[in-house]
Amino acid sequence: MFEKAAMLFLYCETPVHAGTGTSLSIVDLPIQRERITGLPIVQASSLKGVLRAETLSILKRKGEQNAEEKVKVLFGPEPKPGQASEHAGCVSPHDARLLLFPIRSLVGVFAWATCPFVLERFKREMIAAGFQIGWQVPNPANSHQALVAHDDTIVADGKVVLEEFAFKAQPSEETKSIAEWLAKNAFPQSPEYKPFRDWLPKRFVILPDDAFRDFTQLATEVIARIRLKPETKTVAEGALWTEEHLPSETLLYAPIFVSKPLAPNANQLGLTDSDAVLQALRDLQLDRLQIGGDETVGRGIVKVRLNVPTS
């Protein structure tokens, strides 16, 4: 049973393609989505693999003598014949779910959008992980209304216009509280992100659930890719395809649950209990990860923030 928890926030600095393979849709390579809601996710298996590789890299850079053994304790043995059944890992990342989705705006360039369903589920998972949440989730009065924290940056003539859809802007103190909380507790805290933290309350909007779902399905970034013939530098026959990406400035979150280490050598490595495991994760000081596909063309770079509940 899990004993400790943390919350990992992932801020997309480039488009992110966590793909599902081929598809029958108009996009050749779509992104991963929840089956019921249709909202984008990054599956836990993808996230765990990246965390495992990054942890090993960080420990080796620090000169850790038992880097590979520590990674084995934290994330379990490599899935190789005869090894995976030795013991389970004690760090369990969950799916990275969508929290804020950037949408092109008529004024203010873009807005960070979310919806009551996403916020309620995020709040539920934060409480389950041991965090205290002091705000309540407001709801737009109808399908034509959008709640905003401020009525200037993304509001024109009393309306929020996202892509080609207009919503009546309704300023809300609770919406402002949520935006300020996210800027403080979910956005990266490094100095280069100060303008983004300042912008969030000015560009934050809570949309009706159905409208938000539609934007996340129809306003993602679709990129056309080609493969060239090495000899002629012309497009190879049939080598044109399209890929779907989460756009830059998207914010995701992933709960991480920690249990007591099960490996027989955990005590010798200083990983005596779940508190020690959680401290080991904090000591990594994770900064940036590269997740999903298209690593060789600079996709999938996310800024990371790990939050641990206060005792």
**Whole-angstrom Cα distance, residue 119 to residue 142?**
17
Q: Are residues 78 and 118 in the same domain?
A: no
Asked whether residue 39 is domain-assigned, the answer is: no
Q: What is the CATH number of the domain that holds 1?
A: 3.30.70
- Give the distance, in angstroms, between the CA of residue 97 and the centroid of all CA atoms in the same chain: 6
For residues 61-74, one letter each, b for 16 or more C-beta atoms within 10 angstroms of the residue's C-beta and e for the rest, the string is eeeeeebebbbbbb
Spatial CB neighbours of 115, under 8 Å, sequence gap ≥ 6: 206, 207, 208, 209, 211, 212, 213
- With contact defined as beta carbons under 8 Å apart, do 18 and 292 qualify? yes
Q: Which amino acid is at 130?
A: G
Does 27 reside within a domain? no
Q: Residue 27's CB: how many other CB atoms inside 10 A? A: 14
User: Is 174 a member of any domain?
Assistant: yes
Does residue 152 come out as left (phi exceeding 0), alpha (psi in the -120 to 50 range) or beta?
A: alpha
- The verdict on residue 13 lying in a domain is yes
Q: Would 230 be classed as within a structural domain?
A: no
Q: Give pLDDT tens digits for 105-162.
A: 999 999 999 999 999 999 999 999 999 999 999 999 999 999 999 888 999 999 999 9
pTM here?
0.93
Q: How many domains does the chain have?
A: 2
Q: Are residues 148 and 78 in the same domain?
A: no
- The encoded tokens of residue 189 equal 């805290």
pLDDT for res 85: 65
pLDDT at 84: 54
Confidence tier at 53 by pLDDT (50, 70, 90): very high
Same domain, 188 and 298: no
Q: What residues contact residue 289 under an 8 Å CB cut-off, 6+ apart? A: 10, 50, 51, 54, 301, 302, 304
Q: What is the mean pLDDT of the chain?
A: 92
Alpha carbons within 13 A on the beta-carbon side of 276 = 13
Tokens representing 126? 């934060």
Q: List Cβ neighbours of 235 (8 Å cut-off, separation of 6 or more).
A: 226, 227, 228, 229
- pLDDT per position as a tens digit, 237-295: 777 888 999 999 999 999 999 999 988 899 999 999 999 999 999 999 999 999 998 88
- Residue 35 belongs to some domain of the structure: no
Q: In the prediction, which pLDDT does 80 show?
A: 66
Quick one: 288 and 201 in the same domain? Answer: no
* Calpha distance 149→176 (Å, rounded): 4
pLDDT at residue 83 tops 70? no
Identify the domain containing residue 53 by its residue range.
1-18+44-94+249-311
